[in-house]
Amino acid sequence: MRYALGGAGYGIVGFRDPHGIRPLVFGKRHAGGDAYDYMLASESVCLTGLGFTIVGDVQPGECVLITKIGQVFRRLCVPSPQRWSPCLFEYVYFARPDSIIDGVSVYRARYVYNRTTALCLSSIGSWREAVTAFCNLLGSQWARPWPMSSSAPSSPWTLTSSFRCVLENPCLPPKDAQL
């Protein structure tokens, strides 16, 4: 879990669970003179879209306190490091593909995950056989002709492109792919 709370006129407090299940990123932007605005968000694009620069990810078990006058305090609040266990759905479903979570591009994570799945299925035979096998793994509601789609924003594009690259024509996504 992640939380960002307003503190009754004192400032903002943000903290992340000890296992890092959900992401939390911290950013700042110049507000004129020596002043800065600060923001905590679940995705990097929330910050960059509003002109903030990324300070960094709030680490699992870390608390960030930003006072009303702009003082920033960061402290690890767990006695010993916990096993890092990020939520897979942040990478494959929830987050925008142009986000960075814990230093990992969401788009690249989706592409690599889907490419690995396609490589595993490529030993099955033809493109149609591999896709049919994959759809059968997902359940009967997916057992229909390719291309398939889902309600996950931008996820079908990554799935389709990575499968086609492996099963029809090996290729890599452009490093600066705009989605």
Is residue 34 exposed (0-12), middle (13-18) or buried (19+ Cβ within 10 Å)? exposed
Residue that is written with structure tokens 């931008």 in the block = 154
Q: What pLDDT does 28 receive?
A: 95
Structure tokens at 26: 């911290």
Q: What pLDDT does 177 receive?
A: 47
Instruction: Domain ranges for the chain, please list them.
Output: 2-76, 88-167
Helix (H, G, I), strand (E, B) or coil at 94: helix
Say if residues 63 and 15 touch (Cβ distance below 8 Å): yes
Return the H-helix or E-strand segment holding 118: helix 106-121
Task: Tell me the angle at which helices 155-167 and 106-121 cross, rounded to the nearest 10 degrees.
Answer: 40
Residues 51-101 have pLDDT tens digits of 999 999 999 999 999 998 889 999 998 877 678 888 877 877 788 888 888
Q: Mean pLDDT, the chain, as a whole number?
A: 76
Q: Side chain identity at 13, as an amino acid letter? A: V
Residues 140-151 have pLDDT tens digits of 444 444 444 444
Q: Side chain identity at 6, as an amino acid letter? A: G
User: In angstroms, rounded to a whole number, what is the distance separating the alpha carbons of residues 97 and 153?
Assistant: 8
User: In angstroms, rounded to a whole number, what is the distance separating the alpha carbons of residues 39 and 29?
Assistant: 9
Better pLDDT: 79 or 42? 42
Roughly how many angstroms between the first and final C-alpha of the chain, as a whole number?
A: 28
